[in-house]
Structure 1
Amino acid sequence: MPMFKKSMLVLLAVVALAAGGAFYAGIHGQEEAVTLDAGAAPVQEAQAKEIVVYVAGAVNRPGVVQLAEGARAKDAVDACGGFLPTADTNGVNLAQKLKDGMQVTVPEKMTAAAQGVTGGAQAGATKPLPEGMVNINTADEKELDKLPGIGPAMAKRIVEYRTENGAFQSPEEIKRVKGIGDAKYEKMKDKIAL
């Protein structure tokens, strides 16, 4: 019987130790959780992500601006003091969602003389694009599809690229569109303009 009593005492001691350890861990674990929650919440809410965008063209103060993530092109224009009176406000998609590192270019309006609307006179008017030429900054998918080597899918990619990145600054920039390399560009370079 003495062996049975020793076993019972050892078992009782182990159970008591386990219960005490669990109780101790429960009390101290709870305190740490309360401390972490109280200190961490305000820090996370205070940090907002920002993007940096370059705004060029017909705005009051062109340059680099910092905006909140999710900002639109209109926010970038507003951060630069708004449009100049000569700005072509239809030449930029103000609803376009911006990404870090993007450029927003606001074009200038064409004057009446440049458009050839001077009371019927054509003096000083810029020449319209020759037959078969396509303006890659204003053409829709249907017009782009007429270019050599460009099908409906590629035309759609060109429009998407232009929407996401703004107007092309040079004809060669079209090579940045996925699927347009040097060979495809060579086929179309004499048919495209800005």
Structure 2
Amino acid sequence: MPPSLAGARVDPGRPGALALVAVVLAGALVAGVGVWLDRPTVQPVGGLPEVTAVPGGAATGETDRSAGPGGPAPVAAAPVAAGPLVVSVVGRVARPGLVRVPDGSRVADALDAAGGALPEVDLGALNLARRLGDGEQIAVGVPPAADAAPVLPAPGSEPASGAEPGAAAAPAAPGGKIDLNTATLSDLDALPGVGPVTAKKIIDWRSANGRFSRVEQLREIDGIGERRFAQLQELVRV
């Protein structure tokens, strides 16, 4: 720098100072506008569906967002069908033994499943319209035991008047003994040493031979030896 200019001061004067201030303010204004335009913007959020409580389940909205248009509709659980009834038909029928009939069947349905009664049998003592219960026995043309217990109506059915005396359920003799000629499968299964397999063999023997005449005939059934017979002879009768 020339020596003559050393220490010299520039005086812009009043107009120059105002112009300088205007330039600074304009720069600040431009910077402020840039910062304002670059600020993050908040996007509006759409309204949420109204939540309602569903009895026995989780809360849900007005619409099911998980299922698109045309999605499968909820499928109701199918009712569970009741299993068949197992009934013992003994006496003068075409095919005596155990038969299986649908729940809600009547005595007449069990006779049909056993091949029907023999021609000479009088069915007047049987209430053919009585509703059956699982595990009971129907005696056709066979004189009932003198102390046979009355038939209990099946669950959900009304007591029937004139129910056949030969279809006694769970007959028990004095002293708590089980009658071999009228006992059901569940009655025999409850005896000590007799399981469901042996109980069915006893009923099959009774169906094939008509009825027991002596307790000692239990020895003729496969699976009942002397030791088991000794346990049973004081618990059963004919």
**Fold shared, TM-score > 0.5 on shorter chain:** no
User: What TM-score results when the alignment is normalised by the length of structure 2?
Assistant: 0.37
Larger CA Rg, structure 1 vs 2:
2
Higher helix share: 1
Higher relative contact order (Cα pairs below 8 Å, separated by 6+ residues): 1
